């Protein structure tokens, strides 16, 4: 099976790919454009793609050869899964492998935003720090505060567990279906979660239904001292509304690992001192990226061998 790997993967994963397939390693720094994706789908039996590769309905049109698109990552909003299904193309992803690492980043951002860690780190690097004072860089306490989690899937539940067991935080959550996580947590409507939380964390997948799920009206419902954290996908949030809410003090701060038009980050957002920004580090640990890669390859191997891939979407 002729396979295209669109981005540089870890050495261990690339070694396994090379052993199993007739593989071409694109190793592009930038994701595939729609036109590049279309050409790849015509030239290869299988694609191993990742965030940003534009496997759109247009890319999937016409006379294409590929029969499977294996996504490196749990989120696959860059792939038109419905169009792929209509063409008889299998799409797979890598759930589970990313759960703990992404939840860890959510807690990192909660703590950094609440305790003003980013601003403090910049202050030390600038050489302006002259020593400890009782009122310097006062932030907010995290332990015992209420966290509201939008989306209680694998990642949302892992975040909730860390907050509840690690920081003694009451947990509110909003989910499209009823769920019992097995520890104290209260399922509430979205508006009640926003109004009742000291920290709001977005952990839903990016779909047409969740596009701009959080906008001006939602930020207006939050408490002025509350912090907003997004570790899901950038376009779930109306970024312009978030910037406005931060500028006007509608909310106290934000921690972001994702952005609406990655890698573009608006200057107005970059200039704000009350926002902590990371370059999409959610799964950026070697062990995690290895696990994701092996899972993506296992999906391809299963398909090649005539079996149902374990993580078809």
Residues assigned a catalytic role:
233, 262, 280
Strand boundaries in the chain, DSSP class E: 2-5, 22-25, 46-50, 68-72, 90-92, 147-150, 171-174, 186-187, 199-202, 227-230, 253-256, 275-277
Supply φ then ψ for residue 102, to 5 degrees. Answer: -70, -40
- Give the whole-angstrom CA distance, residue 255 versus residue 275: 6
- My answer on whether omega of the bond before 116 falls inside 30° of 0, hence cis, is no
3-class SS string, 80-127 = CHHHHHHCCCEEECCCCCCHHHHHHHHHHHHHHHHCCHHHHHHHHHHC
């Amino acid at each position: 099976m002729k396979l295209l790997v669109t981005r540089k993967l870890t050495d261990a994963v690339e070694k396994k790919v090379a052993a199993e397939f007739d593989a071409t390693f694109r190793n592009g720094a930038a994701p595939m454009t729609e036109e590049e994706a279309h050409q790849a789908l015509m030239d290869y039996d299988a694609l191993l793609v990742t965030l940003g590769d534009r496997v759109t309905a247009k890319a999937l049109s016409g006379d294409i050869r590929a029969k499977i698109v294996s996504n490196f990552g749990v989120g696959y909003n860059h792939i038109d899964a419905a169009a792929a299904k209509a063409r008889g193309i299998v799409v797979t992803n890598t759930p589970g492998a990313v759960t703990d690492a992404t939840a860890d980043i959510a807690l990192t951002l909660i703590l950094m935003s609440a305790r003003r860690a980013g601003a403090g780190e910049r202050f030390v690097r600038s050489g302006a720090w002259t020593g400890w004072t009782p009122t310097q860089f006062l932030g907010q306490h995290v332990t015992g505060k209420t966290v509201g989690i939008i989306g209680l899937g694998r990642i949302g539940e892992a975040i909730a567990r860390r907050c509840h067991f690690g920081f003694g935080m009451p947990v509110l959550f909003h989910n499209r279906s009823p769920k019992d996580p097995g520890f104290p947590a209260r399922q509430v409507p979205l508006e009640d979660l926003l109004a009742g939380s000291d920290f709001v964390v977005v952990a839903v997948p990016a779909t047409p239904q969740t596009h701009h799920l959080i906008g001006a009206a939602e930020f207006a419902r939050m408490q002025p001292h509350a912090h907003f954290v997004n570790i899901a996908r950038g376009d779930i949030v109306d970024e312009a509304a978030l910037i406005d809410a931060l500028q006007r003090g509608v909310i106290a701060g934000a921690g972001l690992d994702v952005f609406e038009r990655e890698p573009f980050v608006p200057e107005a957002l970059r200039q704000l001192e009350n926002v902590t920004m990371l370059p999409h580090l959610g799964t950026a640990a070697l062990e995690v990226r290895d696990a994701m890669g092996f899972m993506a390859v296992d999906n391809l191997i299963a398909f090649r061998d005539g079996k149902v891939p374990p993580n078809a979407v």
